[in-house]
Amino acid sequence: MRAITKLKILLTIFKRINETKGTAAPVTLKNFIVQFIFGYNKSAYWPVHHSSVISCAEYIKTGIGTAPGLSHGCYIFANADNPVTIGNYTIIAPNAGIAGYNHNLYDYRVAEGNGITSIGDYCWIGMNAVILPGVIVGNHTVVAAGSVVTKSFEQGYVVIAGNPAVIIKELEKEKCVDYTNRFEYIGYLTLKEFQESKDDILKNKK
């Protein structure tokens, strides 16, 4: 983020703390200090726990009310050819991994992927779950704890589990709730601020 954007966040931090309190992606003074003063995950434009690792945040697009890596021990990474997109109001439990790319079997220095890795809106990624490169997960998908998602479930509205993950339950669409927060934030920025400055924040245009 540009220095002016960081200053603007600093001047209004307590307002943001109040407006995101009680949501799944709260802004806290502790996270702000750890990220932007001590430098842990400083490239991320959303709140991240100090024990999580976010690599190349400029290629990770996160939605409203979503803070990948806010739970401890997560590892989320992407690159220019293999960006990651995570939708609105999606929650990610501790120790989850979301991989934008993998290593070449014959030369692990070479990164390989399958294009965009995408997680939809209102998803729940369980503890220790892993989303592998190129996977597309549709809206209202629950990924059970410890699952390894090796293929796409674009239709959404399912519970998937196992290694490799398979559908164990189909959800009734009419029972799924699409809620919105009173104050809409994408990370540390209001939705309006993010839309105005996303070209400076993101290199992931997909």
How far is the C-alpha of 57 from the C-alpha of 125, rounded, in Å?
A: 19
Write down the catalytic residue from 49, 50, 72, 103: 103
- Work out the angle at residue 16's Cα, subtended by the Cα atoms of residues 183 and 8, and round it to the nearest 5 degrees: 115
Torsion of CA 78, 13, 15, 192, to 10 degrees: -40
User: Of 135, 47, 17, nearest to 57 (Cα)?
Assistant: 47
Catalytic site includes residue 103: yes
- Which residues are catalytic, by number? 103
